[in-house]
């Protein structure tokens, strides 16, 4: 599950009504810096947080509804650029974009030729 900070706040608020959104953001940022969460920017909209830090994977996002899913890394990886312009490459993020099955079905039913 890839929750936004607002979704985490909503769930936390159910148990701790006094928790602030700022506390949630601060905690999420700390967990990311500790390597306990991944911060995923899957395009427009808020960042999402991924607890799956142990298994190498990529992400698949629906460009219609925003559903975000893990995609297993095939192990091939992506080579570092031949000339990284002085950068030390520390990671690679791959986000595949497309339509989830539900949005594909909706798109097909909306098509006049379907």
In whole numbers, what is the pLDDT of the chain averaged over residues?
A: 86
| Residue 49: CB atoms within 10 Å | 21
pLDDT digits (tens, 9 = 90+) for 78-112: 666 666 677 777 777 888 899 999 998 887 666 55
- What's the confidence (pLDDT) of residue 86? 79
Which domains are delineated in the chain? 1-53 (1.10.10.10), 55-77+92-114 (3.30.1490.190)
Mean local confidence (pLDDT), 19-27: 97
Distance CA 114, CA 112 (A): 6
Comparing 89 with 9, the larger pLDDT belongs to: 9
Q: How many residues does the chain have?
A: 114
More confident residue, 50 or 85: 50
Mean pLDDT of 36-56: 89
Rounding to the nearest 10 degrees, give the CA dihedral for residues 5, 71, 100, 42.
40
What predicted TM-score, i.e. pTM, was given to this entire model?
A: 0.76
């Amino acid at each position: 599950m890839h929750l936004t900070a607002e979704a985490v706040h909503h769930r936390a608020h159910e148990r701790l009504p006094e928790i602030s959104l700022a506390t949630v953001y601060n905690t999420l940022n700390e967990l990311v810096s500790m390597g306990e969460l991944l911060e995923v920017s899957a395009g427009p909209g808020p960042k999402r947080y991924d607890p799956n830090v142990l298994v190498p994977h990529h992400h698949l996002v629906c460009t219609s509804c925003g559903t975000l899913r893990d995609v297993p890394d095939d192990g091939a990886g992506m080579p570092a650029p031949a000339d990284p312009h002085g950068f030390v490459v520390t990671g690679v993020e791959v986000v595949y974009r497309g339509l989830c099955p539900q949005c594909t079905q909706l798109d097909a039913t909306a098509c006049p030729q379907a």
